[in-house]
């Protein structure tokens, strides 16, 4: 099976009142037509938070998008249940996977850094908003 890896450098997130608008470049080497994408969001897990004292918690993910286009809206309601990862800088974690006629390739995990002032980010935290500050 050909790996259908979405390059995390090509993911863009734009925040609005409706939620987070994600868009990404399709994988370059697909060995067939991409039929759909799935986007998963890391969510708070009450059981994992209690076990976190014993060691690193396992993240729980829910699918927030399944469709043919390389873009989606993750609603504000979905984002309200997001797990905020504080291992380095605060970030919301997404996983994106592409599917062709052979099945899904491995999911690419990306961190959407949470900044105070900027509204446009890439997966690596680069700011493309008019404020001109980098949110890394």
Does some domain include residue 129? no
On whether residue 78 sits in a domain, the answer given is yes
- Predicted pLDDT of residue 16: 87
How many domains, in total, are found in the chain? 1
Residue 130 forms part of a structural domain: no
* Parent domain of 14: 8-122
pLDDT, one tens digit per residue, over 17-51 is 899 999 998 887 777 889 999 999 999 886 555 44
Please state, in angstroms and rounded to a whole number, the distance separating the CA atoms of residues 19 and 13.
10
9, 95, 108, 123 from 24: Cα distances, Å? 9, 12, 11, 10
What per-residue confidence (pLDDT) applies to 57? 60
Strands 11-15 and 19-24: antiparallel
Report which of 129, 51, 57, 64 is spatially closest to residue 94, judged by C-alpha positions.
64
Residue 101 lies in a domain: yes
Dmax of the chain from CA atoms?
45
CATH of the domain at 17: 2.60.40.10
Does the pLDDT at position 93 exceed 70? yes
Kindly report the pTM of this predicted structure: 0.74
């Amino acid at each position: 099976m050909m790996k259908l890896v979405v390059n995390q450098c090509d993911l863009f997130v734009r925040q609005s009142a409706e939620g987070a608008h994600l868009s990404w470049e399709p994988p370059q080497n697909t060995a067939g037509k991409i039929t759909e994408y799935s986007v998963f969001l890391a969510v708070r897990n009450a059981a994992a938070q209690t076990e976190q004292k014993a060691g690193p918690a396992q993240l729980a993910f829910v699918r927030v998008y399944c469709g043919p286009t390389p873009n989606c809206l993750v609603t504000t309601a979905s984002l309200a249940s997001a797990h905020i990862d504080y291992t380095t800088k605060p970030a919301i974690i997404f996983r994106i996977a592409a599917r062709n006629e052979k099945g899904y390739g491995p999911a690419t995990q990306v961190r959407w850094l949470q900044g105070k002032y900027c509204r446009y980010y890439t997966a690596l935290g680069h700011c493309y908003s008019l404020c001109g500050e980098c949110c890394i």
